[in-house]
Amino acid sequence: VTTGELTQTPQTTVRRAERASYDRELAHAILDEGLVAHVGFVVDERPFVIPMVYGRIDDTLYLHGAPGTRILRTLTGGEGRRAAPVCVTVTLLDALVLAKSQMHHSANYRSVVVLGAVRRVRGEEAERALTAIVDHALPGRSAQARPPDAGELRRTAVLALPIDEASVKVRTGGPVDDEADLALPVWAGIIPLTTVRGEQVEMVQAPEGFPA
Ligand SMILES: Cc1cc2nc3c(=O)[nH]c(=O)nc-3n(C[C@H](O)[C@H](O)[C@H](O)COP(=O)(O)OP(=O)(O)OC[C@H]3O[C@@H](n4cnc5c(N)ncnc54)[C@H](O)[C@@H]3O)c2cc1C
């Protein structure tokens, strides 16, 4: 893993700098805690943003999917296309911030934006990436479930994106009202938000072809 600063480019320079960071470890921690990445790309001048799961190994973020979907066709270059630039965003929403004035309502959050171009990976790297994606959802799960076979690997495209041209933004703390509003009789504070794993619910699966 590379430590220290991410690569700051004009595209990843945050304008409200007090909330910005280019710290790699912080970016990795946010990516590891998040579960859904919003993956943005442009096809024929139209933007698309698609939710996807992902995994991380060191400085690389991995995505996967069926090779026929628009996102996979676009990002891997597909038939006659160049590999497309991509923007991957992961957001952790930590709290609603309620101020005395409507304009100062806000949110506490930690988010990462990664820019770059993906490369398609195959073979051993693809297998390690798929394991990382499974373990990202539930650590240790790959040791319990059957690994993908040759056919499943053939039918799955795995994409790698370097976590390098990237930025982090973090907001913490309470509302920041204008002084003139501080005496208003309005409740102000934060409402913390967390993602909670529920109790496991075992599901019995019928064998294929079993009458419903
Ligand atoms: C939490 C989460 C995780 C996911 N993880 C993955 C993943 O790791 N890999 C993967 O391949 N897919 C994943 N998906 C599904 C993914 O979002 C797309 O639906 C899928 O990749 C593309 O499907 P498609 O070929 O039918 O659509 P595309 O050909 O990509 O899109 C056709 C149209 O379908 C609509 N569409 C596509 N996806 C969505 C959506 N999610 N919600 C609403 N409308 C949509 C849009 O209008 C789009 O223009 C995930 C979805 C969710 C919600």
H/E run at residue 115: strand 106-117
* C-alpha torsion sign, points 100, 101, 102, 106: negative
List the pLDDT tens digit at each of the 212 positions of the chain: 777 899 999 888 887 777 889 999 999 999 999 999 999 999 989 999 999 999 999 999 999 999 888 888 888 765 556 677 999 999 999 999 999 999 999 999 999 999 999 999 999 999 999 999 999 999 999 999 999 999 999 999 999 999 999 999 999 999 999 999 999 999 999 999 999 999 999 999 988 776 65
pLDDT at 58: 97
Q: Whose CA is nearest to atom 44 of ligand 1?
A: 50
Q: Whose CA is nearest to atom 36 of ligand 1?
A: 50
Q: Whose CA is nearest to atom 4 of ligand 1?
A: 52
pLDDT at 182: 97
Q: Is 130 helix (H, G, I), strand (E, B) or coil?
A: helix
Ligand 1, closest atom to CA 51?
17
pLDDT at 81: 61
pLDDT at 13: 87
Specify the pTM. 0.92
Q: Is 100 helix (H, G, I), strand (E, B) or coil?
A: coil
Ligand 1, closest atom to CA 72?
11
Ligand 1, closest atom to CA 54?
8
pLDDT at 78: 59
Q: Is 133 helix (H, G, I), strand (E, B) or coil?
A: helix
Q: Is 135 helix (H, G, I), strand (E, B) or coil?
A: helix
53 lines ligand 1 (CB under 6 A): yes
Q: How far is the CA of 99 from the centre of ligand 1 (A)?
A: 36
Ligand 1, closest atom to CA 71?
30
Q: Do 98 and 190 touch, CB atoms closer than 8 A?
A: yes
| Strand order across the beta sheet in which 55-57 lies | 55-57, 60-65, 157-162, 119-121
Q: Tokens representing 105?
A: 């309502």
52 lines ligand 1 (CB under 6 A): yes
